[in-house]
Amino acid sequence: MSELRRDPIGGRWVIVDTDHPAKPEDFEHEPNVWKGGNCPFCPGSEALTPPEIEAFRDPSTRPNTPGWQVRVVSNKFPALQIEGELDRRGLGLYDMSNGIGAHEVLIDTPYHNKDIPDLLNHEIEQIITMSCRRSIDLFKDKRFKYILLFKNFGPAAGASLEHPHTQIIALPMVPKNAMEELKGCQNYFEYRERCIYCDMIKQELQDKERVIMENKYFLSFCPFVSRFPFEVRIIPKKHNSYYCHMHVDEVPELAAILKETIAKIKNVFASPAYNLMVHSAPVTNDDGIEYFHWHIEIMPKLTRVAGFEWGSGFYLVPTPPELAAKYLREK
């Protein structure tokens, strides 16, 4: 008999197939097939992107030229634009505003065919450091309430360009998914006077069966209420609500666990498309929100969301997270 599992944060239910769990070879994920053409993110093509916002580069080189290790530019086709006023208004019963925000692209590496597992640890540390710098800079704009960092790898995950990159979007309001997570964390904190993610870390380390790996500062595991097969969460062991406020000593440890975790996923599934998202607290005027704990979610694109999921809000998970973690640990 399958199991129904309820997410203690958002209240979402999932159905986990424990009778006939799918093995890695049972999934037929889409191959990463790209359109090709001249890559605007490769060194020597800097003129094909908007002007450079910030970069880590050889000090002897000029902006918008080769010689960079990590480079940030505005998205050429932004979802939101930074210029202008928000102008929130009503249209009858509907709320609307101008499409104000920021949409930046962090080009992870000058190497066209190197994803995170292919980079050296210090190169990944530069990506993390730059993403924190850009987040802190966007925090200063009083119009922005939420900063979202995400990475789409592979066409099936929504990536339109092959060259590895991360996107940063600043929003003038807290999005629905983040608000639901915040409210769930707050409810737990008000009832138990503890952070739910701190309690989750303790339980996962005690149970061990869903843990993939850990190091001094971080834990990588498959959530008990995974929405997708082989979904992974990476979380700091020390409570902190903001990704961009992590201590400098944590950056190398995050780079190491991020590299190895994604490498394990790619070893199990021969480089599947995946989505990576950083869940951080909304922008506030203080040091953070005591009941929220930042974390990273990684979701390989192995299944499709279909009518049952859209109609019910349930998710069908063909591989129990305990079994998924076992496969990943062994790679």
Question: What is the model's pLDDT at position 36?
Answer: 65
Is residue 312 over pLDDT 80? yes
Cα gap 62→55, rounded to integer Å: 10
Question: What is the model's pLDDT at position 33?
Answer: 67
pLDDT digits (tens, 9 = 90+) for 82-96: 888 888 888 899 998
Cα gap 76→48, rounded to integer Å: 9
pLDDT digits (tens, 9 = 90+) for 74-124: 999 998 988 888 888 888 999 988 898 999 999 999 999 999 999 999 999
Tell whether 111 is covered by a domain. yes
CATH number at residue 33: 3.30.428.10
Q: Residue 105 to residues 12, 35, 163: CA-CA distances in angstroms?
A: 32, 20, 11
- Of the chain, the end-to-end C-alpha distance in Å amounts to 29
- Contact in structure between 310 and 326 (CB atoms under 8 Å): no
Question: What is the model's pLDDT at position 271?
Answer: 85
**What are 63's two structure tokens?**
């902006």
3-state secondary structure the chain: CCEEEECCCCCCEEEECCCCCCCHHHCCCCCCCCCCCCCCCCCCCHHHCCCEEEEEECCCCCCCCCCEEEEEEECCCCCCECCCCCCCEEECCEEECCCECEEEEEECCCCCCCCHHHCCHHHHHHHHHHHHHHHHHHHCCCCCCEEEEEEEECHHHCCCCCCCEEEEEEECCCCHHHHHHHHHHHHHHHHHCCCHHHHHHHHHHHHCCCEEEECCCEEEECCCCCCCCCCEEEEECCCCCCHHHCCCCHHHHHHHHHHHHHHHHHHHHCCCCEEEEEECCCCCCCCCCCCCCCEEEEEECCCCCCHHHHHHCCEEECCCHHHHHHHHHCC
Residues paired with 52 in a beta bridge: 73
Cβ-proximal residues to 16 (8 Å cutoff; 6+ apart), any chain: 2, 3, 4, 5, 226, 317, 320, 321
- In which band, very low, low, confident or very high, does the pLDDT at 305 lie, cut at 50, 70 and 90? confident
Tell whether 88 is covered by a domain. no
pLDDT digits (tens, 9 = 90+) for 20-37: 999 999 998 777 766 667
pLDDT digits (tens, 9 = 90+) for 136-152: 999 999 899 999 999 99
| Count of beta carbons in the 10 Å neighbourhood of residue 6 | 12
Tell whether 87 is covered by a domain. no
Tell whether 105 is covered by a domain. yes
Is residue 331 over pLDDT 90? no
Average pLDDT, the chain: 94
Tell whether 181 is covered by a domain. yes
Tell whether 129 is covered by a domain. yes
Closest C-alpha among 230, 299, 210, 297 to residue 25: 230
What is the residue range of 213's domain? Answer: 3-82+94-329
Count of domains in the chain? 1
Tell whether 21 is covered by a domain. yes
**Residue where the block lists tokens 């002007």:** 51
Question: What is the model's pLDDT at position 102?
Answer: 94
- Catalytic site residues? 165
Tell whether 301 is covered by a domain. yes
Average pLDDT over residues 131-140: 95
Question: What is the model's pLDDT at position 287?
Answer: 67
